[in-house]
Amino acid sequence: MSGILYLIPAPMGGDTLNDILPADVIEIAKRLTHFVVENAKTTRAHLKMFGTPHELRSLQMDELSEHTKDHEVFALLKPLLDGIDVGLMSEAGCPGVADPGARLVQLAHQRGIKVVPLVGPSSLLLALMASGANGQKFRFNGYLPSDATGRVAAIRQLEATSTKESQAELFIETPYRNGALFQALLASLKPGTRLTVACDITLPNQEILTLEVGQWKKKPEPVIHKRPTVFIIQA
């Protein structure tokens, strides 16, 4: 009988678990000894925070990133096929969502391995909930192009789709490029399009604000450099 693949959410920063993860999620994470992770160092810090009774050095940590080859991902199933429960943990937030762990989840389903998602914070859903944008029809677009021309074209296409479909469009950026993306949004979107900027979600310095682009232009630029941020537009 194969083990269970648990999808374990992680805090999105900070050093506290209060009001972030349910107690049963922490208990499951504490009993596991095998993990597939995006970053072993970050995961060990999280597990230490959870209060794992195991020596951190004794835990098996197999890393899975966007650079992991297909045959290497398949090899990560071995403990599960041997009957050992495994925890999948992302760098932050929910595994499998904007996260390379989805590849392992797909293979687990193909091999008939039970997959159990655990409750925890999703920056995308929390941002959408707080945005006032259309929560019944929305799309997550991942990262926009990093080059200026491609970025502007993508922004205008997202706005056109949002207008046509009455659809909220969600996307993210590498934190050190947040400022450039924000400026491109102000320059490319129509004044009446609503833009949500949601940064440091669940942290004490969380900031979430939705304004029309014309209103954003009258305000000081938000301080979002190197802060994890979700952007949402609703035309």
The CATH number of whichever domain residue 101 belongs to comes to 3.40.1010.10
By DSSP bridging, strand 207-212 and strand 194-199 are: antiparallel
- Please check the confidence at residue 158 and state whether its pLDDT lies above 90: yes
Q: What is the mean pLDDT of the segment spanning 129-158?
A: 97
pLDDT category at 17 given cuts 50, 70, 90 is: low
Residue 219 belongs to domain spanning: 123-234
Instruction: Please tell me the predicted confidence (pLDDT) of residue 98.
Output: 85
Q: What type of residue is 142?
A: G
When computed from its CA atoms, the radius of gyration of the chain, rounded to whole angstroms, is 19
Nearby residues of 38 by Cβ (< 8 Å), 6 or more positions away: 63, 64, 65, 89, 90, 91, 99, 100, 101
Q: Report phi then psi at 207, rounded to 5.
A: -135, 125
Q: Are residues 72 and 39 in the same domain?
A: yes
- Please check the confidence at residue 19 and state whether its pLDDT lies above 80: no
Which residues share a beta bridge with 169? Answer: 139, 233
Residue with more model confidence, 33 or 18: 33
Instruction: Please tell me the predicted confidence (pLDDT) of residue 16.
Output: 59
Tokens representing 14 are: 């900070």
The domain total for the chain is: 2
Q: Report phi then psi at 31, rounded to 5.
A: -85, -15
Domain endpoint, select from 79, 100, 117: 117
3 state SS of 176: helix
Q: Residue 165 sits in a domain of what CATH number?
A: 3.30.950.10
* Total-model pTM: 0.90
Domain endpoint, select from 78, 96, 117: 117
Residue with more model confidence, 13 or 218: 218
CB 167 within 8 A of CB 161: yes
Instruction: Please tell me the predicted confidence (pLDDT) of residue 138.
Output: 97
Q: Are residues 112 and 140 in the same domain?
A: no
Element at 117 (helix H, strand E): strand 115-117
Q: What is the mean pLDDT of the segment spanning 67-71?
A: 92
